[in-house]
């Protein structure tokens, strides 16, 4: 039990690390909270700073979710008997990214971190969701649209692939949460003012 508590705390702290803010300021001298969508995630970094910033922040934020869920599985030592441990710690990494300990409980939209959790828990579902996301972004240039559709697909694919009930619950919660975090993007998509991403910058 103590190990699970330690894993939970660690997952939240890891999830709280604001990679976009730290890297943006330290490497490129840009505070992402003052530019574009004001989000500290990879998309705003790509649009505001450029492709290397976007990709590195995407990978680092994704690793937070991967590590968080992995810690739950490792510390609680129960997989596959206790799939809920990975889910609990994964959720805490996502919570940390969106309500960061280091940003007065503010943060990002948790798409990359959520994908990291998904890769650890349901790699096949993660791969399909990533490909769908990529296709939507490639065709429309709207990252937010890809994220919203990708998030909505997670519980559906979890059901199709007959995942444990707790994973289906996680997918449903994560989808609702991520779509809710995109409410300003949804408004902009509907009124035609959402920013597109450029292939090369
Ligand atoms: O991952 C977040 C993305 O879906 C939207 O980001 O900066 O356009 O609000 P942004």
- The pLDDT tens digits for 12-36 are 999 999 999 999 999 999 999 999 9
The ipTM estimated for the assembled molecules is: 0.94
Pocket of ligand 1 (CB under 6 A): 37, 39, 41, 43-44, 109, 111, 143-144, 147, 185
**Ligand 1 site-directed mutation target among 37, 62, 98, 151, most atoms within 8 Å of CB:** 37
- Residue 59: partners with Cβ closer than 8 Å, 6 or more residues away: none
Spans of all domains in the chain = 2-191
- Residue located nearest, by CA, to atom 4 of ligand 1: 144
Ligand 1 atom at minimal distance to the Cα of residue 38: 7
Q: What is d(CA 186, CA 49) in angstroms, rounded to the nearest whole number?
A: 23
pTM of the predicted model, to two decimals?
A: 0.94
Q: Which residue intervals of the chain are DSSP H helices?
A: 2-16, 19-28, 42-48, 51-76, 83-98, 111-121, 123-140, 143-160, 165-181, 183-191
Pocket test for ligand 1, best of 57, 60, 147, 186 (most atoms within 8 A of CB): 147
pLDDT of residue 83: 81
- Distance of CA 189 from the midpoint of ligand 1 (Å): 12
């Amino acid at each position: 039990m103590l190990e699970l508590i330690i894993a939970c705390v660690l997952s939240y702290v890891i999830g709280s690390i604001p990679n976009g803010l730290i890297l943006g300021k330290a490497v490129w001298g840009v505070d992402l909270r003052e530019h574009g969508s004001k989000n500290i995630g990879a998309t705003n970094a790509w649009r505001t700073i450029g492709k290397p910033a976007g990709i590195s922040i995407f990978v680092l934020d994704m690793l937070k979710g991967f590590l968080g869920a992995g810690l739950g599985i490792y510390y609680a030592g129960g997989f596959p008997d206790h799939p809920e441990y990975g889910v609990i710690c994964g959720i805490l990494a996502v919570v940390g990214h969106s309500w960061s300990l280091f940003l007065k409980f503010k943060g990002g939209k948790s798409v990359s971190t959520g994908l990291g959790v998904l890769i650890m828990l349901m790699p096949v579902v993660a791969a399909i969701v990533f490909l769908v996301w990529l296709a939507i972004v490639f065709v429309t240039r709207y990252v937010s649209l890809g994220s919203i559709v990708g998030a909505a697909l997670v519980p559906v694919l979890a059901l199709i692939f007959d995942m444990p009930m707790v994973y289906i619950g996680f997918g449903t919660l994560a989808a609702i949460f991520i779509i809710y975090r995109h409410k300003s993007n949804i408004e902009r998509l509907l009124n035609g003012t959402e920013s597109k991403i450029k292939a090369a910058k």
